[in-house]
Amino acid sequence: MKICFVVHRYAPYPGGSEYNVQRMAEECKRRGNEVVVFTGEHQGDFNNIKVTSDPQQSLNADVIVIHGGDVGIQNFVLQNIKNLPGKVLYLLIKPSESLVCLQGLKDAQYIGCTTPEDWDHVKKFNVEYKSHRVNYGLELEKFIGIKGNFKEKYNIPKNKRMFLSCGGYWPNKRMIELVAAFKTARLDDAVLVTTGYDNRHNLMPESSNNVIPLMVEDIKDIPNAMADADCYIMNSSEEGFGLVLIEAMINKTPWISRNIAGARLMSDYGITYDTEFDLVEILRKWRNRDVTAGYEYVVNNHHIKTTVDDIEKLLKTE
């Protein structure tokens, strides 16, 4: 089977969409499929995956998987679904009511849903009948960190609890607001570590005695950070899923998150909140939690093999 993934930018560029599509593409390739990625920005073929900006070389596939919308390349394909020879699976990622995304919602043969927001969206527009669960996942074994390495490398105080938040310093990550909440909580025995790979919006917090902002260039450091953290915090205003919560859970690290996307889906395994005021109260009362159930849930539901299993299952529904 020839499978084409559509995404605005592809690995080795950093970013959630880039990595998510890379993982799906490589798992499909391991299963013997012919795989190509149609993208607007790339650095050539990568890890034995053909990567191209040429629609003639990519969109003549049996299955076209569109990773979200409201971005140039994805929008181009969403607008041309009726002209494509293969079946189209539109992964919502972040549900949108833009005209082009609603057109894709109508024309795609399959819609991939994961979060409660996804399912609310397809119900609202009466396309639940062609919507299917696609649980996003990771190569979990690659995301298990080594305890002690991160604190040692970045000189994090070993005698203090470490609260952690990762991701690019983008507006939706709300890192500045997170720092303000953390300082308001006045946790004398703790530090907040934030990490990112991009500060183009100048939203990297300032360093202080209990806030340590970092630019982490080596992605391999993040699992080690997760392993060292006493708690992970996702303060984002919006996420496609929030795979960092899965990274925390596979390292048996408890988490706190705004009640969105993957956090809503997995709320039984962490603590969710609606405002930074709520977060302050949670931080002040924070105690260690049993993480066994969350770890087992992730192992059983959020491996990249499960993601591709879900895709294969829906393609066999005809």
pLDDT attached to residue 219: 84
pLDDT attached to residue 182: 98
* Residue 197 in this model has a pLDDT that exceeds 60: yes
Task: Tell me the mean pLDDT in the region 181-196.
Answer: 96
* Residue 167 in this model has a pLDDT that exceeds 90: no
Mean per-residue pLDDT of the chain: 95
Q: Measure the CA–CA gap between 154 and 131, rounded to whole angstroms.
A: 45
pLDDT attached to residue 55: 94
Contact 114, 133 (CB under 8 A): yes
Domains of the chain: 2-137+303-315 (3.40.50.2000), 140-301 (3.40.50.2000)
CB-CB neighbours of 214 under 10 Å = 18
pTM here is 0.92
* Residue 98 in this model has a pLDDT that exceeds 90: yes
Express each pLDDT in 210-245 by its tens digit.
Answer: 999 999 988 889 999 999 999 999 999 999 999 999
Q: Which residue is it, tokens 């607008």?
A: 79
Q: Measure the CA–CA gap between 313 and 299, rounded to whole angstroms.
A: 19
Task: Tell me the mean pLDDT in the region 170-185.
Answer: 96
* Residue 316 in this model has a pLDDT that exceeds 90: no
Which tokens belong to 58? 């990519």
Express each pLDDT in 4-38 by its tens digit.
Answer: 999 999 999 988 899 999 999 999 999 999 999 99
Task: Tell me the mean pLDDT in the region 137-163.
Answer: 95
Express each pLDDT in 71-80 by its tens digit.
Answer: 999 999 999 9
* Residue 318 in this model has a pLDDT that exceeds 60: no
In angstroms, the Cα distances linking 148 to 232, 246, 250 are: 16, 20, 16
Hey, which residues does 273 pair with through a beta bridge?
Answer: 258
Q: Measure the CA–CA gap between 148 and 155, rounded to whole angstroms.
A: 11
Express each pLDDT in 283-302 by its tens digit.
Answer: 999 988 899 999 999 999 99
Q: Measure the CA–CA gap between 128 and 164, rounded to whole angstroms.
A: 37
Q: Is 113 left (phi over 0), alpha (psi -120 to 50) or beta?
A: beta
In angstroms, the Cα distances linking 175 to 73, 170, 184, 197, 201 are: 29, 8, 14, 13, 12
pLDDT attached to residue 198: 86
Phi, psi of 252 (to 5 degrees): 60, 40
